[in-house]
């Protein structure tokens, strides 16, 4: 295998691994919010990850930004991706279902690509838009026709959906900032210093929310979910994702997140007992086809 092919395979494996880890995030988050206040769950996962990251970044003497613009990217990426987004996702999942969250999360590639294209003042090729449109149709049917042929499930809370949608827009901006900073100071620096920067928001918020949770009532499942969200979603997931974005291109790699709703629904079926229906399988086919179509042609 030539070096170019090896590099491409590495990007595929790392980016795909991040998508797989994040596919379990709504499931773990849903479990966590059943054991504690939703806002507290969102803050706690990132605060713990931030404290770990701060220790690692300091001990390893990871490089920090030098230019003011790069500091802005670090703060924007850290606060958006590691503070605001986890809080809003947990708040939303306290009111809506994992499948609704999966649908909204599927818009991340489109929003990330749009923000990146707007910043660069360029637009993706037509095939990218066609792939996004096809996958968008798939994600619509994935949730709204996932059981009994019903158009809209009553278990999806509108408020929760809107909270997650707002968080998705913010998260997309954080992805773009992180992807731009990663080639400058490195993937690990972007991730760990970004998590540390988010502590400026997370620690005060956690102290304010601390009395809202009965900590003696948080069972092993709740703590396991927090551990998953802390180590796999917040640390390894973001490090892998920023690395892939920096080397594979923001518009190209971001489209891979269209696979997340398919994987999330599969995990929801396994761990939450949600049914796998024919409409769900048809939606999965549309999402996979759209993801393939959105990839750049060689």
pLDDT in tens, the chain (298 residues): 566 666 677 888 888 888 889 899 999 999 999 999 999 999 999 999 999 999 999 999 999 998 888 999 999 999 999 999 999 999 999 888 787 788 778 777 777 877 888 888 877 778 878 887 887 787 677 656 645 555 555 544 667 878 888 999 899 999 899 888 988 998 789 889 999 999 999 999 999 998 888 898 899 999 999 999 999 988 888 788 878 877 777 767 766 777 788 888 888 888 888 767 777 678 778 877 877 777 666 5
d(CA 104, CA 187): 27
- Please report the pLDDT score of residue 57 as a whole number: 94
CA-based max dimension of the chain: 57
Question: Residues 117, 125: contact at Cβ < 8 Å?
Answer: no
First to last CA, the chain: 17
Contacts of 159 (CB under 8 A, 6+ apart): 95
d(CA 118, CA 196): 28
Picking from 91, 78, 109, 107, the residue whose alpha carbon sits closest to that of residue 26 is: 91
Query: What count of residues does the chain have?
Result: 298
- Please report the pLDDT score of residue 295 as a whole number: 66
Alpha helices in 94-186 (DSSP H): 98-105, 108-120, 126-144, 158-185
Burial bucket for residue 141 (CB in 10 Å: 0-12, 13-18, 19+): middle
- Please report the pLDDT score of residue 96 as a whole number: 81
* DSSP letter (8 states) at residue 152: S
């Amino acid at each position: 295998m030539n070096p170019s092919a090896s590099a491409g395979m590495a990007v595929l494996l790392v980016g795909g691994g991040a998508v797989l880890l994040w596919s379990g995030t709504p499931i773990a988050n849903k479990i966590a919010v059943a054991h504690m206040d939703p806002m507290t769950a969102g803050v706690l996962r990132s605060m713990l990850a931030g404290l770990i990251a701060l220790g690692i970044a300091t001990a390893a003497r990871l490089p920090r930004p030098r230019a003011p613009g790069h500091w802005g990217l670090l703060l924007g990426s850290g606060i958006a991706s590691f503070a605001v987004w986890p809080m809003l996702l947990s708040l939303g999942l306290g009111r809506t279902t994992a499948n609704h969250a999966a649908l909204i999360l599927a818009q991340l590639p489109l929003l990330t690509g749009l923000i990146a294209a707007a910043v660069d003042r360029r637009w993706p090729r037509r095939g990218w838009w066609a792939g996004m449109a096809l996958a968008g149709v798939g994600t619509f049917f994935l949730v709204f026709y996932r059981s009994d042929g019903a158009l809209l499930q009553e278990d999806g809370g509108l408020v929760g959906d809107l909270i997650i949608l707002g968080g998705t827009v913010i998260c997309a901006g954080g992805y773009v900032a992180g992807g731009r900073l990663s080639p400058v100071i490195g993937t690990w620096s972007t991730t760990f210093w970004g998590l540390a920067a988010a502590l400026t928001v997370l620690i005060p918020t956690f102290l304010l929310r601390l009395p809202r949770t009965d900590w003696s009532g948080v069972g092993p499942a709740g703590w396991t979910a927090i551990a998953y969200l802390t180590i796999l979603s917040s640390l390894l997931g973001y490090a892998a994702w920023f690395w892939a974005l920096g080397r594979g291109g923001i518009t190209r790699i971001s489209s891979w997140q269209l696979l997340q709703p398919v994987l999330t629904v599969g995990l929801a079926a396994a761990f939450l007992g949600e049914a796998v229906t024919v409409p769900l399988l048809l939606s999965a086919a549309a999402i996979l086809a759209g993801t393939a179509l959105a990839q750049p042609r060689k």
